[in-house]
Each structure stands twice: as structure tokens, then as C-alpha cells.
Amino acid sequence: MCGIVGYSSTSNSIELSKFVSMIKSLDYRGYDSWGFTFKDEDQLKTERQLGKIETPNQQGKATFVIGHTRWATHGKVTKDNTHPLTSNSNNISLVHNGIIENHQELRNKLKDNGFNFYGETDSEVIPNLIEFHLRTSESVLEAFKKTLDELKGTFAITFLHDKSKKIFFARRDSPLTIGVDKDSLIVSSDVTSFIDRTKKVIYLEDGDYGYVNSEIKIFNKEKEVHREISEIDWDVSKAKKGDFKHFMLKEISEQVDTVKQALIQDSKLIEKITNELKSSEVYIVACGSSYNAAKAAEGEFLKNGLIPRIIHAHEFEQYEKFLSEKSTIIAISQSGETLDLINAAKIAKSRGAKINAIVNVQGSSLARLSDKNIFMNVGPEICVLSTKSYTAQVAILMLLASSLIKKPNESKQEIEEIVRHIYYLTSESARKHTKELSQILRYSNHIFTIGRGRDYATAMEAALKIKEVSYIHAEGFAGGEIKHGPIAMIEHGTPCIVFVPNKNNQDILSNAQELKSRGAFVIGISEKKDETFDYWIKVRGPDKFSPILRIIPIQALSYYLAIMKGLDPDKPRNLAKSVTVK
């Protein structure tokens, strides 16, 4: 969940303020605390701070420097737990993303050998274990390899040694890349930290370790290996706010383009995948918003003759015994680094199942693990909340579902027809209604959302968006479920958002009336106004694509609720963009 970055050059130093800006570009991965270490001759100098990075204004330059922005998993948010972490002799400074599962065992071993510990984090064992092995090793690299052999768990690591003009690195089940610039090398969790410097990147594989200075040395299983340099095709401007105050609003506004971009797919690839689905036992595996996207498209798959099992990735291991060569997995992830999903894909692969990924980040762990990839093509999504990636995922899943019975190009044209509706929904004029609604709801303690059929998934995603960013307790329910318990929560003035289809809407309107009779403040999301509604947001467009259209006003509502409450919509508390721990 944390972000790490290291800059290495033997000829061109970097201003520390610019390096801190590189760390800041990763703070969607964690923003509890941050820090950096740079080499000054044979000394390591470290700065560590709690909270988010504000305006980078550090003085000085460095040719070897590492940095970290933390999302706390082991240990509280304190200076002692903030990275970089140093060894007892201060000759090693290290940053780490991941979880060391046997840290207590290693901590006890190191204490028995005279080492002291000053924080609670699992990561603190790593620099001290390297120092321990340096006592019996001929080189820093040898000591590092011995350390890696003892670590159980996941990690992306970079560190500096006071006498070495190198940045050492390693990865296992946590993302790590190397940006290749003309006079520098940048080791980082994500390409967003260096995309404005270079689009050339090396994606490291599991088990890779080595170092960078004026060259790149990569080893795996004690043998030197070569990794190809890839080219990033993202637009650099997509990683910047431009005229928007927050990335969340920018990314909501981009959906008129990103839905179209998501449909730019190779028709032959789509045909291959849909033909595979027709003759397979299909599992769609995802977490969070990606899971809701799968549920949103489920009805279209069912209508077209396919019964997919939609499973949370963290629960997937229960299905292992049912998997075989006849199974096909659709794995969905924006980052391609969600650890639960990676583990699920590995389980499926070990049983001979075919893996098809819907993923945004090329070169990600999921993309490399999968047999076929459908890339979302939405560019970097910086806000922690999923907005444009969610609607892109739904669009791709609807394309797959429709292509079960139609040619892919016909299916694309059908989805492209809703772009004009997306254009209106993402416009400033449309957002004024949700901004007004946010003023009404800003002091609410609870918000409930309901829908039926494909709108049930929208209700779940809507509730997730609201609670993620505004911290208002929100729950999504199937309309038919409210009488089976949830209606007990309704009292005078309780806001209830109701997603109403254009056709066959009698049952959900009846559910809305039931809520209203118990005192609910009913907010209708529909094409036509109904007398049941106390507040109405108009959404035009065919029911088939309602999961794309009807979620957009709620994305905007969630944003404005956060703004009204003085919260940062790009970086909600306790959340990080890429969940790389279990």
C-alpha cells in the first residue's frame, strides 16, 4: 500500500524539493507519513515527517536518494515507524512496501544478537538483518541476498548503504519498476513518480533483486537476468490536475472520453475471449468497486445465456477444488497489483484455468500473470476512489456480455450511443443539482441506497462512494430486501437514494413509497420525476447502460459532500489506491 521511490545518477544530481515531489506523486498509495534519505559523501542523511506532503521546499541536491510515503499497517503513525528506517549502526537506510510475516521471529533473533528496536513496524527488521549478514558477507549484495532468503511475506525494497554508490532493490508480490532516463535511473512502486521524466520503464519480476547506479544489475535465483525496456503510452497530462482543484472531479469529468477509450479494443481479441467464455465455467473475480462493476454487468451476461460466478478475490480460495482446465477467470483490477486478486489468479492458474484480465496498468503483476489482457485505456487514476475506472470496467464487461450474441463492433456502437448522456452528466450544469443536494445531506449520519436488478449494483457502488469519501455511513440494498430488516433503520428525514429504471419500475417505486411512509427523505435517480421523490436528479439513457449513467451523479454527490465537510476527496482517511497487502 505504501509508495517507494529511489533516484540514482552518477552524473546528474536531483534537487531534493523535486525528489520530494516525486514522493508526493505516490501519496495516493499512502499518506500517513513520509520521508527520504540521501547520500552526502559517506554519510546518510534522513528527514522524516508525519502527515501528508504539503509544498516541497527542501534545500540541496543528491545523486543517490530514496523516499517513502506510508500507509500504516504494522505500527502506529509515529516518527519511529516512519520510513526510511535505519540499521543500528546507521550504515543502511531502507524503505519497504509490503508485509514481513515472520518479523517477530526475526526481531527476536536480532535482539539475541545485540540489536535494538525503536519502533513497532515489521519493516525495521530488514535493515538490521542486512547489517547482521554484512558481518559474514563479502559484499552488500551478498548480505542482501541472505536477508531476502530469510524474509517471509511480501516486499518491494530499496535501500542505501553509506559506503556504496548504488541503490539496492528487490521485489516479491509487491510492485516495483525502474524508470530509465538518459542520465538517471529511478526505482519506484509506480510509473506516476517518473512519467514526466521518462516513458521508458522496466517492470521487475517476482524474485528480482539487484542494484542501480550508472547501470542496472538484476538477479533472480542468484543468476543475472535481463528485463526488457517497455514504453508507457499514457498521456502525462492525465497525471496532473490541470484546471481542477482535485483529481476526483477531474476524473469524474473525463468519463465522456474514458468510456470511449475503454471500447477501443481489438475485435478479434474480444471474439476469442467470448468464444472461450461460451465453453467454460466462468468466474469473475474482483474487489471493491471492481466487484460492483462485475455485479452491474451480471444481468447482461445472464440475459445472453452465460452464468458467471462473481466472487470477492479474498474469498476465492474456497472455490479452488472446483477449478480445472475448463474454467475461465475474468480478473478485474485498475492497478493490477491488488494482492488478493493476484493470489486468486495464481490459484486458478495452478489448476489449469485460463486467466483474462481487465486491467488499466500495462506491465502490472496481473497483466503479466494473465493469458489475455483487456486494457482499460483510461490513463492514470490518481484519486484513491475509483470513478473513471469503474465506468470503464462496466463498459468493457458490457462489451463482453453483448459480444456473446453480437459482433463486437455492433456491441461497441451500441455503448457509444450513450456518450452524449455521459457528456451531460459530467458537465458543470448537471453537477449543480448534486452540489445543491450535498448541502441538504451534509449533516446526515446515514444514507441508504436501493435498486433492483442491474440498479442494485449501482446502489452498492453509490453507497461505497459516499462512505469512502464523506465518512457518512451509507449502505446499499436490493429494493426487495428493505422489508427484511433494513427498514428498521428508517426514521424521519433519513435520506434514501432510489435508482429507478425507465421500464418495469413499479416494484422499486413501491419500495420508495414504503420508505417514504416511514419518514424517509426520498431522492430519485431516474429519467422521469415521480410524486414519491422529495428530490430528483434526472438521468436519461437506456436501462441497459444504467450502471454507467446513474452512478455518475452519485460520484459528483460524494465529491461535493467531502468538500462541504472540509475533507480531501483525493485522499480519504485510512484508504490507499492499491491494496498490496492481505
Q: Residues 448, 486: contact at Cβ < 8 Å? A: yes
Q: Is 503 a catalytic residue?
A: no
Tell me the three cell numbers of residue 118: 525503536
Distance CA 48, CA 506 (A): 59
* Phi and psi angles of residue 257, each rounded to the nearest 5 degrees, phi first: -90, -40
Return all residues near 496 (Cβ < 8 A) that are at least 6 apart: 447, 448, 449, 450, 490, 512, 515, 520, 521, 522, 523
Tell me the three cell numbers of residue 339: 494482492
Q: Residues 477, 457: contact at Cβ < 8 Å? A: no
Cis peptide bond N-terminal to 572, omega within 30: no
- Spatial CA neighbour of 558 closest among 461, 419, 424, 418: 461
Helix (H) or strand (E) holding 554: helix 552-564
Distance CA 195, CA 500 (A): 42
Q: Is 577 a catalytic residue?
A: yes
Torsion of CA 337, 340, 346, 347, to 10 degrees: -170
Distance CA 496, CA 43 (A): 60
Name the active-site residue from 2, 287, 383, 496: 2
Name the active-site residue from 39, 250, 295, 577: 577
Return all residues near 373 (Cβ < 8 A) that are at least 6 apart: 356, 357, 359, 362, 367
Provide the annotated active-site residues.
2, 577
